[in-house]
């Protein structure tokens, strides 16, 4: 990847980011091993899918759509009402890894994003794991 090429561009711009958000929530909705995080979301995932798309657009280096519509993401603060431990983080990552697998990104770019997503997902943890 060159310094001037963003992950937003590599993933296919607006259409690629929309598809990533769609695949992510389809995985969450269909994978029984992700039931815990699925139950943290409303029955209708359309609003959640749209917000993820808006966020990812800017996070991946494209237009800052989420910031334009909602202001600073304040990710941790916005997720505090939801109990997030290592299991929830891992389920979220399972959905994102599956979504990225069909993104058309090369292995190096995909692995870089997996690491970045993991760091962000790990930062969202707000409860101790059971011992």
Cα 111 versus chain centre, distance = 14
At 114 the pLDDT is 98
pLDDT, average across residues 11-34: 98
In a domain, 102, yes or no: yes
Tens-place pLDDT, residues 51-84: 999 999 999 999 999 999 999 999 999 999 999 9
At 2 the pLDDT is 52
At 3 the pLDDT is 60
In a domain, 116, yes or no: yes
Look up residue 74 and give its DSSP letter: -
In a domain, 130, yes or no: no
The whole model's pTM is what?
Answer: 0.93
Model confidence band, residue 38 (pLDDT cutoffs 50, 70, 90)? very high
Helices assigned H by DSSP within the chain: 7-10, 13-30, 35-38, 46-59, 65-70, 75-79, 86-101, 107-123
At 129 the pLDDT is 85
pLDDT, average across residues 43-58: 98
In a domain, 128, yes or no: no
CATH code of residue 40: 1.10.490.10
Residue 100, judged by CB atoms within 10 A of its CB (0-12, 13-18, 19+), counts as: buried
Instruction: Name the residue range of residue 44's domain.
Output: 10-123
In angstroms, the Cα distances linking 50 to 20, 53, 64, 84 are 11, 5, 14, 21
Q: Does residue 1 carry a pLDDT above 80? A: no
């Amino acid at each position: 990847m060159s310094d001037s090429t963003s992950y937003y561009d590599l993933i296919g711009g607006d259409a690629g980011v929309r598809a990533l958000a769609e695949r992510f929530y389809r995985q969450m909705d269909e994978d029984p091993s992700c039931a815990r995080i699925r139950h943290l979301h409303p029955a209708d995932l359309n609003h959640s899918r749209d917000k993820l798309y808006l966020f990812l657009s800017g996070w991946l280096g494209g237009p800052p759509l989420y910031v334009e519509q909602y202001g600073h993401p304040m990710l941790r603060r916005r997720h505090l009402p939801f109990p997030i431990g290592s299991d929830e983080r891992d389920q979220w990552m399972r959905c994102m890894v599956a979504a990225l697998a069909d993104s058309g990104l090369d292995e190096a770019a995909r692995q870089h994003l997996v690491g970045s997503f993991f760091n962000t997902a790990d930062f969202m943890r707000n409860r101790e794991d059971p011992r």
